[in-house]
Structure 1
């Protein structure tokens, strides 16, 4: 694949959540609000890009026998930096996300891209791969959190993580009598995930069928 195709693959075709089924634990846990999804998504994007770039830089001098421990140290250091910045400048977000910020270290998406891509490719390609996969993860958690928050509370509220008094979006659509509170629980998380994963799978099958039909016509 060329660089653009590799970048684009992480959005839908190889979406880390709905296609590769990676990082499911944090996805199910933090998607109660759009605010949480934005914070976690941005954090994962930053860690993915920076870890991919650093690992790509050291790939030729890292012995195969210790490459996984080296990758984990790099990822853990970056995650700790992100966590400290969030604690300092967005304490409310830090409280909402809780333990799932440091758990980015063991997120399968981060280590998976380090091992499968960054350790075998150049710096620019690795950075684009990290950006594509990070955006794919962010779109996934945003979609889930939007559906769950809207159905469980009747609206969407997004505040400035650096200043809780500043509201960026406060949209109320569904009357309180018609909300379904179960979507704010783990059951709602699994239902939302299953529906979206099925939709992505159906879309991929449709695209594959069209490509196969076009190939047959060309023959």
Structure 2
């Protein structure tokens, strides 16, 4: 990998994880972001499924982009995404059935998630398969860490636990009682309003971080000030 490739993949990773984060900057895919983030396990499980679909759909579309007529590109993109999501949905049903029942309709709804189609249309249809797959994975991981943090915060405040439902993924595992068995929890945290509140706090924290970093970068060096 030459210097140009490293710069390209570094830029894709930086934008996907932070600068152009789908959840905190673009505010896309809010339906699963808010509905499934009631616990860490649910949030991470759906996020990993989304990462896989985004990476595979991006690579597939990029590989076939010269064969897809421009006039019907959107229906074809959706068909490719739907095929991948169907395979993933069947895999969840077969191997993670309890988790499949909890996530319910939100696995098939990955097909209509605007994050997936947006990256396929904006990036995968114009770049190489490897770069497109990397972009899809980076954008998906950007969504994953936000969902994981949001799910952890809501579960901790709402139930006082962490990794609730982990036995659906790892049989025999148990949730971690962070605040003890007598903690009653704050119900609003695991209700829809709690999702909006915590997401708003995360967006505000990111904006404050970025504003502070820009302010530090715009300050003249100490030597220049003293001169």
Q: CA deviation at 1:169?
A: 4.9
In 2, Cα distance between the equivalents of 1:146 and 1:5? Answer: 28
Out of 128, 152, 159, the residue aligned to residue 153 of structure 1 is 159
Out of 41, 47, 50, the residue aligned to residue 47 of structure 2 is 41
Structure that is richer in strand per residue? 1
Across the aligned residues of Structure 1 and Structure 2, the Cα RMSD in angstroms comes to 2.0
Task: Give the corresponding residue for 1:62.
Answer: 68
- Please report the TM-score for the alignment, with normalisation by the length of structure 2: 0.88
Look up the SS of the partner of 2:66 in the other structure: coil
Task: Give the corresponding residue for 1:53.
Answer: 59
Task: Give the corresponding residue for 1:131.
Answer: 137
In 2, Cα distance between the equivalents of 1:62 and 1:211? Answer: 45
Residue by residue over 1:133-181, the C-alpha shift from the partner in whole angstroms, topping out at 9 and shown as x without a partner, is 1110100110110000000001113414345x42165242266446211
Residue by residue over 1:84-130, the C-alpha shift from the partner in whole angstroms, topping out at 9 and shown as x without a partner, is 00000001111111111000001111001001110111111111111
Q: Structure 1 stretch 136-145 or stretch 57-66: which is displaced more?
A: 57-66
Aligned residues between the structures: 216
In 1, Cα distance between the equivalents of 2:36 and 2:161? Answer: 17
1:48–1:110 Cα contact (<8 Å) kept:
yes
Query: What are structure 1's unaligned runs of at least 5 residues?
Result: none
Q: Cα–Cα, structure 1 residues 26 and 212, in superposed 2: closer, same or farther, change >3 Å?
A: same
- Please report the TM-score for the alignment, with normalisation by the length of structure 1: 0.91
Look up the SS of the partner of 2:81 in the other structure: helix
Task: Give the corresponding residue for 1:183.
Answer: 189
Out of 119, 124, 148, the residue aligned to residue 125 of structure 2 is 119
